[in-house]
Amino acid sequence: MLKNDPGNEVKLKIYALFKQATQGSCNTPKPGMLDFVNKVKWDAWKSLGAVSQEEARQMYCDLIGSLVEKEGGSSAQVASQPAAGGTAFNTLLLTRGDNITTITLNRPSKKNAITDEMYNEIIAALEEAAKDESALTVFTGAGDYYCSGNDLTNFTKVPEDGVEAMAKRGGVLLRKYVKAYIDFPKPLVAMVNGPAVGIPVTVLGLFDLVYATERATFQTPFSRLGQSPEGCSSFTFPKLMGATKASEMLLFNRKLTAVQACDLGLVTEVFPDSSFRAEVWTRLKAYAQLPPQSLALSKQLLRSVEKDRLHAVNDAEVELLVERWTSDECFNAVMSFFQAKAKL
């Protein structure tokens, strides 16, 4: 898979993560002092301690994805394998373990930018996770980014039936996408492992917990692109952070650090980058041992108070966005964005 030798240290890490992901914690006798090669491999595996198989699988995919990306490869090379009895996806990695279903956005070479295909796959993954036996569902991103938002090349492929028809289809897909979060019956957790831009930020108001690494950032640059809020953020953001702070983000494109997002209530807790996955997974594994029906029914009770309101907000946001997508203002703003990128 890799064209270049990544070095012994990285190869040992790959070996250790693979063993932990497939067999669990190191349970073999320590090799003799003179068996240098196997002793080094044993030490690497042993150093992972009690890291769960689920977490090791995620770390393995992140590591391989970052190595492929450095070589100029595609995230498609880090093939998504289906969870047991589940569906294989092209843009996601769906895994299960420790009573947790994890949905990983898996386009690291594109900063996990969302295509139409990924929108449909996320909807399908949420539908699958809603029916499985896990207690929690977790979202995270492969590589250095959580998600860079919409893949703006979506806006450059005008079909034969024109922009208006494309916008209407986009509206149908977006409404269905946000609805999948509103209706999701189990606790939903975001592990924001890096920068997040646009719709992966706006839907965070529909999650039950949002944990972030200290290097994560949060931005919703809608007006810069001639667009308007989505993901029910026009309702959830003012509710979480107050009207004026929400306006700074949704109207004036303010980027928040992880700590600022936490202070405003968008993020539950911030962790050091070096221990982010280990600390969060320790906590989530404990949460996942709670009675699953109690968790699901309690979440549904909390959501029922404003569920109809959220659906109405989703409808109104999508209606406005469809109008925005067909406007000259939006088209010119997106083209200016591409021109600015081309000059970099």
Q: Tally Cβ neighbours within 10 Å of residue 234.
A: 19
Helix axes 162-182, 307-325, angle to 10 degrees: 160
Joined tokens for residue 279: 């600390």
Query: In the prediction, which pLDDT does 299 show?
Result: 97
In this prediction, residue 85 carries a pLDDT of 55
pLDDT, position 53: 77
Among 226, 221, 223, 164, CA closest to 195: 221
C-alpha span between 62 and 276 (Å, rounded): 14
**What domains lie within the chain, and their CATH numbers?**
51-343 (3.90.226.10)
In this prediction, the residues of the chain whose per-residue pLDDT falls under 70 are 1-5, 65-86, 154-158, 341-344
C-alpha to C-alpha distances, 278 to 59, 88, 136, 171, 285, nearest whole angstrom: 10, 26, 17, 38, 11
pLDDT of residue 344: 53
pLDDT of residue 77: 39
Query: Against a cut of 0.85, is the pTM above it?
Result: no
**Placement of tokens 């692109």 in the chain:** 225
